[in-house]
Amino acid sequence: MADGSPMVTAGLWSLWKSPQSGEEILTCTMMTCEPNKVMGELHDRMPVILAERDRPKWLGEEPAAEPCPDEALKIWPVDTMVGNVRNKGPQLIRPLEPALL
């Protein structure tokens, strides 16, 4: 970093198991975002660089998010067609009539 401090970037890791061989492979990826002005001179994206204040949230040491208030949500029954990703269309979000429940 410009001030000499270490650069801490966001990434994800996962242990993947091959269904055929059972071999376990540790995989990882680096999170990227649009570049700031400085990096934009060199490339069209850049690593997500975590500010010191954000590191505990990224590492799970502090809550990063919390549920919205109950009153912010509205829930209604929908057709079982919703459970199949091949089904499309606005009818999927229409509330079911009470007689159809």
Which residue type occupies 97? Answer: E
- Predicted pLDDT at 67: 83
Angstrom distance (rounded) from CA 62 to CA 73: 25
- pLDDT tens, residue order, the chain (101 aa): 999 999 999 999 999 999 999 999 999 999 999 999 999 999 999 999 999 999 999 999 999 888 889 999 888 888 889 889 999 998 888 888 876 55
Chain centroid to Cα 65, Å, comes to 12
Handedness of CA 40, 43, 45, 51 (dihedral sign): negative
Give me the numbers of helices (H) and strands (E) for the chain, helices first please.
2, 4
97 phi and psi angles, rounded to 5 deg: -70, 145
- Predicted pLDDT at 96: 86
